Chains A and B, each alone.
Chain A
């Protein structure tokens, strides 16, 4: 005990002397005491008691994450190399066959395409709509607070509950939407919006837009609050119209918020499951499958655990590559703008 207590500080001291960037580098325990830095080191160093405290405090969270996050993810990677039906030992090693199988599978191709469609369509639809509604609700008007709450309601409902209501609304003939169309002398598609393969994905997309627009609005409203009034006021004094002020000043200043929102939206779109499962189960004729519905169908219904695991690994890799690319090329702009400010603090 005493041994560690005296040596640990010196190790930290040398690490600290070597520069903060190397704080995590493990220095040899036999370092000589670091002379003048020793006093500072004693304050920075930690006793065994503190190490125990740290371990006790962090361990429960780590254990939970290892058992329920890391372990299942590693199992998924392992299973993706086997053919396994869920019972018996894991002996049927098939190498990359599961990956070859899904990467040449039309249903999985469709699933990836549908996910990418939702990623792009969500941003293309929700960014301008969300921005417009946020700018509208940002103008001083009566009932502003209530309006902001109402816009957020669809987002708060569970995807499943919203999905069940929309499923009824979209029913052919007896659904409210078709009934309204009929009043105007129009009629919905014979198979229903969700039953027609060419339309189903668009119908799902519209429901998703309804459900998630509130999130974009709320984040952008919050971003608008962060824009100093002085800037917009200065523009107004200089004779800029409301439109000019929004277009030239507010929207550019909202850039970081929009980019972050788009990132969250993209990550969510890649994992789309609940809404599709409720509205169409991936049908009709696999017109609305997503990677998540694909892997659940394979895993749960068909007990093809190897295929399902390979699909989940592919889903993870696609999401990771897209996230890193986005961070590297789009979000990094915000970070570089941020860093000098951070340095001053």
Chain B
């Protein structure tokens, strides 16, 4: 008897769990959350379609008529694209360095057995303790004077990569360690060297881990403000710097500021939508690690 009724109840229970709620209060609460989350962003987007005269008359109104000028001015100007290029280049260099050096360092830490391995790993873990804020003032002097990299892409990307490496190695090590030893033994039996195994088998297999740390490094670099603020001027500025400066230089042109800011949001939002799973995974990985 029980044997026949049990599957039935289980199916019914699952159906109940998957049933969408019809409680209207739930949807009202969800709408409030959506409005609060998106409200400020939408004010910026819509404000970009208004004129300064409209904004002065009623700051909280809707565009009447809708104007494209603010957005067109930003898109047709060189400034925005220049900043976007700098942001992209710096983020790509940072990501490339972090993923390459991170996976190289994590490989022996995960799969070689040698004395001092845990001590070496501890060095990377210790790196997590030092936020860039603590080192920012000497970094500025070292990058500009000692290395002569002030106001360059590399001058920002190298320190960013260095500060991202500890977390990268901490996340990647378990990823690389989880690949079964049988695969490694088979490869070695077939005559692959350990570096050959690393290059031809381990790297492709650890793709998801590398994407996760890569996305984290990219987003962090893209949003970074403090280091570029000290190191970059004029044509070399990144989007966050450009947005902040545009907003203080064109304080009277609020509609222009809204348009500029809105356009600067788009790359991050598109990137996020494309990489949503990876970003969330990365954050969870960071928590577990």
Contact = CB atoms under 8 A, between A and B. Distances in A.
Interface of A: 11-12, 15, 23-24, 26, 44, 46, 50-51, 53-54, 57-58, 60-62, 64-65, 67-69, 71-73, 75-76, 79, 86, 133, 136-137, 139-143, 147, 149-154, 156-169, 173-176, 178-180, 183, 210, 214-215, 218-219, 222, 229, 233, 257, 260-261, 264, 267, 271, 273-274, 277-278, 291-292, 295-296, 299-300, 305, 308-309, 312-313, 315-316, 319-320, 323
B105 A61 contact: yes
Nearest to B228: A160
Interface string B91-130: 0000001000110110111001111111110011001011
B141 A68 contact: no
A137 B30 CA distance: 8
Interface stretch (B64-72, B73-81, B203-211, B256-264): B256-264
Given A76-B138, A79-B138, A312-B133, A164 B247 contact: yes
A139 B40 contact: no
A136 B283 contact: no
Given A62-B123, A210-B36, A164 B17 contact: no
B114 A54 contact: yes
Contacts of A164: 243-244, 247, 257, 261
A23 B118 contact: yes
B125 to A, nearest CB: 12
B250 to A, nearest CB: 11
Contact of B101 (A61, A157, A165, A277): A61
A257 B287 contact: yes
Given A60-B105, A68-B139, A233-B17, 14 more contacts: A23-B115, A46-B112, A68-B135, A71-B138, A75-B141, A157-B41, A160-B243, A164-B244, A168-B247, A176-B43, A214-B37, A292-B226, A312-B135, A312-B137
A62 B112 contact: no
Nearest to A237: B13
B11 interface: no
A289 to B, nearest CB: 14
B255 to A, nearest CB: 10
B59 A178 contact: yes
Nearest to B44: A165
A296 B13 contact: no
Interface in B224-258: 225-226, 229-230, 239-241, 243-244, 247, 254, 257-258
A292 B107 CA distance: 36
Contacts of A86: 141
A267 B130 CA distance: 11
Contact of A274 (B27, B194, B226, B283): B226
A95 B287 CA distance: 40
B108 A53 contact: yes
A54 B130 contact: no
B133, B223, B257 interface centre (most CB from chain A within 10 Å): B133
Nearest to A260: B287
B195 A53 contact: yes
B19 interface: yes
Contacts of B247: 164, 167-168
Interface in B50-72: 55-56, 58-60
B21, B40, B137, B241 interface centre (most CB from chain A within 10 Å): B137
B161 interface: yes
Given A150-B34, A160-B240, A169 B283 contact: no
Closest 8 CB pairs of A and B: A68-B162, A72-B135, A75-B138, A158-B223, A160-B240, A179-B59, A61-B105, A72-B138
Given A76-B137, A137-B30, A64 B44 contact: no
A76 B135 contact: yes
Interface of B: 13, 17-21, 26-27, 29-30, 33-34, 36-38, 40-41, 43-44, 47, 55-56, 58-60, 97, 101-102, 104-105, 107-109, 112-120, 123-124, 127, 129-131, 133-142, 158-159, 161-163, 165-166, 169, 194-195, 219, 222-223, 225-226, 229-230, 239-241, 243-244, 247, 254, 257-258, 261, 264-265, 268-269, 272-273, 276, 279-280, 283-284, 286-287
Given A150-B34, A179-B59, A274-B225, A295 B20 contact: no
A142 B58 contact: no
Contacts of B138: 71-73, 75-76, 79, 309
Given A72-B142, A136-B30, A156-B268, A151 B43 contact: no
A57 B107 contact: yes
B134 A73 contact: yes
B118 A54 contact: no
A58 B222 CA distance: 26
B37, B38, B114, B140 interface centre (most CB from chain A within 10 Å): B37
Given A65-B162, A153-B269, A160-B240, A295 B137 contact: yes
A11 B247 CA distance: 64
A208 to B, nearest CB: 13
A252 B262 CA distance: 41
Contacts of A300: 137, 140, 230
Given A62-B123, A159-B225, A57 B244 contact: no
B43 A147 contact: no
Given A44-B113, A257-B287, A68 B159 contact: yes
B105 A57 contact: yes
Contacts of B55: 174
A58 B261 contact: no
Contacts of B223: 157-160
B134 A76 contact: yes
Given A57-B105, A179-B58, A139 B114 contact: no
